[in-house]
Amino acid sequence: MAELTGRILFTSGQAGDTDLWCLDLDTTSLRQLTVGRACNAKGRWSPDGTHVVYVSNEAGPRDLWLMAADGTHHERLTDDGRWHDHPDWSPDGSHIVCTSNREGAEDNEIWTLELRTGKWVRLTECAASDSYPAWAPAGRRIAFTSSRSGNQDVWLFDLVTKDLRQLTDAPGPDFGPAWSPDGTRIAFVAARVASCRDSVRTHPDLDVWVMNADGTRERQVTTSQGTDRCVTWSPDGSCLLYTASKPGGTAERLMTVSPDGAGAAPVAYERGPLEAEIGAEPVGLFSLLPAGIVRRCYPDAYFGTETYPHWIR
């Protein structure tokens, strides 16, 4: 793979206290964008890179928030006591798509918010749960996850015709779709098992998969035992960025891999500022031990996780 360039936005912290961070791959600098003891997570760059939409429970419920790309000018977008999650931008930056129970139902639907007017439009309506919306680069389609078929699968909604199309149909969950920059492929996360019965009785590992935008030519990208999820694409479409953890582990770290599965590697950077912010310091006698030994004495999650990355030039 080519040298990594651009900016990676990701969520990191410990349980109950996460923040958004920006890693500049060109300078290797790391910058904290949100502060405070709240769950700030799942940020997405605006198409022009000037803003970030994210989810936060800072003011109570799980709301949508907006901020400048440098972490200033935080603005709360929702204040209705409802649940909002997994935001994404329209290609022209005028709308946000998300999953929400805005009408008070127990299930979640896909909604869009027009930023200029504050107008909401519901795109899906089903007794099952719809989530993880992702807006296609060309602007006409939205991929999302739905359990309306009795299993978590990736679906496609056409904003012009209002047609729905199921793209995946295999035992085990398929979720978290992410469009390639040219709109020809969709990456997603799957736990492929022999049957739906197996998926209930066991805990299959999650892997990254890729398929054509029409649902054809599904192919598995990662094969490690453990959790590979939160997949997104590099700006040039040459590699995938995701988070990975070991079997049974809770600490997730940023990884890159080619769409054909070659060259999986961790994203290297100095984690000192991140670990200092969450107070991941050894205590007591552990503080007297060499760093290499200390890290083996603490669970990886003690030093923070890295989830929900998003990459921009």
pLDDT per residue, tens digit, the chain (313 aa), is 668 999 999 999 988 899 999 999 999 999 999 999 899 999 999 999 999 999 999 997 899 999 999 999 999 999 999 999 999 999 999 999 999 999 887 789 999 999 999 999 999 999 899 999 999 999 999 999 999 999 999 999 999 999 999 999 998 999 999 999 999 999 999 998 654 444 444 455 899 999 999 999 999 999 988 899 999 999 999 999 999 998 766 689 999 999 999 999 999 999 888 888 876 555 444 444 455 554 555 555 667 889 999 999 9
Identify the pLDDT of residue 303.
73
Identify the pLDDT of residue 138.
97
Identify the pLDDT of residue 105.
74
pTM summary value: 0.92
Identify the pLDDT of residue 249.
66
Identify the pLDDT of residue 281.
55
Give the strands of the sheet with 95-100, arranged side by side. Answer: 84-89, 95-100, 109-114, 120-122
Identify the pLDDT of residue 12.
95
